[in-house]
Amino acid sequence: MAIITVSNELGAGGSDIGQAVADRLGYHFVGQELISDAAHRYGLLEDKLSHLDEAKPGLFERFDAETRRYITVIQTALYEFAEHDNVVLLGRGGQWLLRGIPHVLRVRVMAPFDLRVKRMGRKLSGQMGEQTNSRTVQEMVRRDDGEKSGRMRYLYEVDIRDPAHYDVVINTDKLSIDGAVDVIAVLARRPELATTPDGAQIVADRALASRVQVALASNPETRKYRTTIEAKTGVVTLEGTGALEEAIDVARTVSGVREVKARQVEIPPIPPFVA
């Protein structure tokens, strides 16, 4: 079967479509559950995980090692759900984290801004039992667009709206939820998206590398350093500028690691100032 990632604009219907696709195919739909699961398994604060999941980090958060650990935990949780296969993953940069994997179908759900505002206005009015202010709803949708775009640029240096990051883009202006579900379900059953051992191994390798990254980000000696991690069938390669011996010891404690290799990266000297 396949892994389906759904990137969604607020008011476009992506969450409803993702859930309906999962029901149609018998897949596991992962939305807010991912955050709760990550908080439970890694012992982190769910409120902070939710904040970093929905918005780009603030200026001071960007330099905070603890913030990097929280973000890495979110990414690791996504990889671990993907390892189980037959899953629909909503948001969290899945279209980027799972790029290059043959059995991943990357979907973008969008709609014109004015239509999304109308939909959100109707939804909020139904929830609150009173008419909502159109300008307030516009600002809410615009702010959500900006936060999602800013988060993707900060984390991955990519534009969330770039169609090159998706296999299919669905505009719900004309296509109903049922129609969108039909399209995605047909594509997910295509032989090109059948899970292969090689594809499953790529997901497992990325999940393992991410678990090692969490371990390094949680250790007081290694969290201060940026370390690049590669994993291949249980063999982990670390590349960094410092604390590599400590990093090797930490990596060896992660379940699934068979062997650890390391490469020291030399920091080039700062050239003398020339007036």
Lowest-confidence pick of 122-126, 232-236, 257-261: 122-126
- What is the separation of C-alpha 240 from the centre of its chain, rounded to a whole number of angstroms? 24
Provide the CATH number for the domain formed by 197-264 in this structure: 3.30.300
Q: What is the DSSP letter of 63?
A: G
pLDDT, residue 128, reads 63
Q: What percent of the chain has pLDDT over 90?
A: 64
Cα atoms found within 13 Å of the Cα of residue 192, Cβ hemisphere only: 5
Q: Does 123 score more than 80 pLDDT?
A: yes
Strands across the sheet containing 168-171:
28-30, 87-90, 3-8, 104-110, 168-171
Q: pLDDT band at residue 273, thresholds of 50, 70 and 90?
A: very low
Span 153-175, pLDDT tens digits = 988 999 999 999 999 999 999 99
Provide the CATH number for the domain formed by 3-193 in this structure: 3.40.50.300
Q: What pTM did the predictor assign?
A: 0.87
C-alpha triplet 63, 96, 161: angle, nearest 5°: 95
Cα–Cα nearest to 90, from 32, 165, 151, 156 = 32
Q: What is the mean pLDDT of the chain?
A: 89
Q: Does 274 score more than 50 pLDDT?
A: no
Q: What percent of the chain has pLDDT over 70?
A: 92
Lowest-confidence pick of 29-38, 48-57, 139-148, 196-205: 48-57
Segments making up each domain of the chain, as ranges: 3-193, 197-264
Span 44-95, pLDDT tens digits = 888 888 887 776 666 556 657 788 888 899 999 999 999 999 999 999 899 9
Cα atoms found within 13 Å of the Cα of residue 255, Cβ hemisphere only: 1
